[in-house]
């Protein structure tokens, strides 16, 4: 059974800004997002996105005390979706998701996976494009990912 992949907004915005949104479809087929993520993204999305709202509104509201609404809704949906992968970049949201036992990755992880699966020939050029945006990226972490990928 394929794993459900749920994405927060930041990955969508970053990949769209550098013309690489298609990597999500190439890697995962379908991406699940929440209504708040649709609002935060603010653009029309391709048909391979599915919009699903979490049912546990009380968990979502509790999470909103620590992270933004899109992250809270995405985490709540991931909690409800057994075996899902959550794409989230915000450090606080990542810590919360991990503490809830969720499997997470981030935008850099998506790009690294695309490189490992041969979807892209190299990650470094895409990382350079990301660095030219306003996306906050730890240089140390970036170098570690590139080393792990043999770049």
Tell me the backbone φ, ψ of residue 96, rounded to 5 degrees: -65, -45
Condensed to tens digits (0 to 9), the pLDDT of residues 80-135 reads 999 999 999 999 999 999 999 999 999 999 999 999 999 999 999 999 999 898 88
Question: Looking at the predicted structure, is the pLDDT value of residue 1 above 50?
Answer: no
Where do the structural domains in the chain lie, given as residue ranges?
A: 5-148
SS3 109: helix
Residue 50, strand partner residues: 32
* CATH fold group of domain 5-148: Rossmann fold (3.40.50)
- pTM of the entire predicted model: 0.93
Distance CA 46, CA 60 (A): 26
Quote the DSSP letter at residue 84: -
Longest CA–CA separation in the chain, Å: 44
């Amino acid at each position: 059974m394929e794993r459900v992949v749920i994405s927060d907004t930041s990955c969508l915005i970053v990949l769209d800004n550098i013309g690489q949104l298609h990597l999500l479809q190439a890697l995962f087929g379908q991406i699940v997002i929440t209504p708040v993520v649709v609002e935060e993204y603010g653009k029309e999305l391709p048909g391979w996105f599915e919009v699903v709202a979490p049912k546990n509104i009380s968990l979502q509201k509790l999470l909103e005390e620590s992270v933004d609404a899109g992250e809270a809704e995405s985490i709540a949906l991931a909690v409800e979706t057994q075996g899902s992968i959550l794409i989230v970049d915000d450090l606080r949201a990542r810590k919360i998701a991990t503490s809830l036992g969720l499997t997470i990755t981030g935008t850099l992880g998506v790009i690294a996976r695309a490189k490992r699966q041969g979807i892209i020939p190299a990650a470094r050029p895409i990382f350079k494009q990301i660095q030219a945006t306003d996306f906050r990226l730890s240089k140390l972490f970036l170098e570690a990912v590139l080393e792990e990928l043999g770049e």
